Amino acid sequence: MATVSMFLFAIFLIFFTTQAMVWVMSFCCKRPDDGDEYINPYRIVPREEHENYKRYERQEYLDSFRK
């Protein structure tokens, strides 16, 4: 029974020390404060081009009434 309790205690110590190390290291990492400036790099169409395309489609739609 003593070996099982020692094993469980060792597992607890390993878990506790890794969590403590992660907690301490989290203070060293600085998170970026780019709330509004974030652009998703995986977007298929970048935002500015998308806005231009929507404007182009709207203009084409309005021009179709003039013809």
pTM, to two decimals: 0.40
Q: Evaluate whether residue 34 is within a structural domain.
A: no
- Mean pLDDT in residue range 46-62: 82
Q: Evaluate whether residue 18 is within a structural domain.
A: yes
13-52: pLDDT as tens digits: 999 999 999 998 888 877 666 566 776 777 666 667 778 8
Domain, as residue range, for 49: 2-29+43-66
Q: Evaluate whether residue 36 is within a structural domain.
A: no
In the prediction, which pLDDT does 12 show?
95
Q: Evaluate whether residue 54 is within a structural domain.
A: yes
CB 39 within 8 A of CB 46: yes
Q: Evaluate whether residue 38 is within a structural domain.
A: no
Q: Evaluate whether residue 8 is within a structural domain.
A: yes
Number of domains forming the structure of the chain: 1
Q: Evaluate whether residue 37 is within a structural domain.
A: no
Question: Which segments of the chain are extended strands (E)?
Answer: none
| CA–CA gap between residue 34 and residue 6 (Å, rounded) | 48
